[in-house]
Chain A
Amino acid sequence: MRRALWLILLLAMAASAQQARRSGFDDMSPSTQAMQRDDAQNPAMLWAQDGAALWARAPSPSAQACAGCHGDASVSMRGVATRYPAYDEALARPVDLAMRINRCRETRQGATPFAPDSQELLALESHVALQSRGLPIEPPADVRLLPWRERGEGLYRARIGQLNLSCAQCHDERAGLRLGGGLIPQGHANGYPLYRLEWQGVGSLLRRIRNCMTGVRAQPLAAESPEFTALALYLAWRDRGMPMESPAVRP
């Protein structure tokens, strides 16, 4: 009888351990955590600072700066990053924050869009995402996003590449275990764009996912591809309620 109770308790603990969401921040070394906590130490703030300059600068004399329409980003962009990817009426598909910035740049500023993962785009994205730091991730309750999110979940659970692994097999089933010397995180996308020590620079969720995909020897997703947006949508839904850490630091 007592043994059965213990077993139930153990099973309950295992289940709750699986449900408890841990941000990548919780598993970092204290020194890396200190780096993220302190804006004077966080190198991603260099990108955010660059983004603030880009926000205020008009791309051409005839066009308006971001600040011309949106004003002070700390007011107008507060909480915006928590709701992306969101549905775009004109494109009739969901767009992530980087795509939204580029569409705005194309249509309202008449400028050429930034290349995916370019320093300028990462800087603007960091500046916008910084305004939502500490706010919970709130994916929009838009029914048009539902099929996309389901598609994203399908991609998350599909085995890919020569190693034949799915995202879920590592980040759901084996999170907390080790892959070589490194801890497998739960894979919450709550700090992008973020400064990765391995990259020695700021990178996007796209870069991180492409990294993982080449790791399992799969064909990496292209920027702005529907598959990537679907996956990002599912990840945002998976992380709902978690506080944004952008621009975060990760090892």
Chain B
Amino acid sequence: MARTLITVPSTAKRGEVIELRTLIAHPMETGFRPGADGLLLPRNLITRFSCRYNGELVFSADLHAAMAANPYIAFFTTATESGTLSFSWEGDHGFAQTETVSLSVT
């Protein structure tokens, strides 16, 4: 499991625009770089990030080789109802991770 840091307000008012910030530990190896032995390091990228709010997709992004290691993704959504936000990262070699955070809307 990769380490993640997710910053989400625990409570929000209905209709409020909230910022969701995520950080995940990942090498984002491009597949173009040689290692210490001179051979190319195999590509190891996160290729897709998505965020679902009570099952509904609110944000997604495709990631590519030019992105730095440990990608930080911040975005906004409107708080509509209490529930869970699930953040998932998918990538090469079957990499898949999902983290959920609960949000209470008043």
The chain A residues found within 8 Å of chain B, CB to CB, are 39-41, 43, 45-46, 49-50, 197, 200-201
Q: Is B21 at the interface (CB under 8 A from chain A)?
A: yes
Q: Do A200 and B21 touch across chains, with their CB atoms under 8 A apart? A: no
Q: How far in angstroms is the closest Cβ of chain B from A236?
A: 29
A43, A49, A50, A200 pick with most chain B CB within 10 angstroms: A43
Q: Do A43 and B23 touch across chains, with their CB atoms under 8 A apart? A: yes
Q: How far in angstroms is the closest Cβ of chain B from A169?
A: 30
Q: Count the A-B residue pairs with Cβ separation under 8 angstroms: how many?
A: 32
What count of chain B residues pass the 8 Å CB interface test? 13
Q: Do B25 and A46 touch across chains, with their CB atoms under 8 A apart? A: yes
- Return 15 A-B CB contacts under 8 Å, by A number: A40-B7, A40-B23, A41-B21, A41-B72, A43-B70, A43-B72, A46-B5, A46-B23, A46-B25, A49-B5, A200-B27, A200-B28, A200-B69, A200-B70, A201-B70
Q: Do B25 and A197 touch across chains, with their CB atoms under 8 A apart? A: no
Q: Do B5 and A45 touch across chains, with their CB atoms under 8 A apart? A: yes
The CA of A39 and the CA of B68, in the complex, are separated in Å by 18
Q: Is B3 at the interface (CB under 8 A from chain A)?
A: yes
**Using a CB-CB cutoff of 8 Å, which residues 22-39 of chain B contact chain A?**
23, 25, 27-28
Q: How far in angstroms is the closest Cβ of chain B from A21?
A: 30
Contacting residue for B69 out of A39, A45, A50, A201, CB 8 A? A201
Q: Do B68 and A200 touch across chains, with their CB atoms under 8 A apart? A: yes
Contacting residue for A40 out of B3, B5, B27, B69, CB 8 A? B5
Q: Do A43 and B21 touch across chains, with their CB atoms under 8 A apart? A: no
**Using a CB-CB cutoff of 8 Å, which residues 9-29 of chain B contact chain A?**
21, 23, 25, 27-28
The CA of A40 and the CA of B73, in the complex, are separated in Å by 10
**Smallest Cβ-Cβ distance to B68: which chain A residue:** A200
The verdict on A197 contacting B68 (CB below 8 Å), with A46-B5, A49-B3 known, is: yes
Q: Do A46 and B70 touch across chains, with their CB atoms under 8 A apart? A: yes
Q: Do B5 and A50 touch across chains, with their CB atoms under 8 A apart? A: no
Q: How far in angstroms is the closest Cβ of chain A from B36?
A: 14
- If A45-B5, A46-B70 are given as contacts, then 14 extra A-B residue pairs at C-beta distance below 8 Å, sorted by A number, are A40-B5, A41-B72, A43-B69, A43-B70, A45-B23, A46-B3, A46-B5, A50-B3, A197-B68, A200-B27, A200-B69, A200-B70, A201-B69, A201-B70
CB-based closest 5 A-B pairs? A200-B69, A40-B7, A43-B70, A46-B25, A46-B3
Q: How far in angstroms is the closest Cβ of chain B from A86?
A: 30
The CA of A248 and the CA of B72, in the complex, are separated in Å by 16
Q: How far in angstroms is the closest Cβ of chain B from A74?
A: 18
Residues of B within 8 A of A197 (CB): 68
Contacting residue for B25 out of A39, A40, A43, CB 8 A? A43
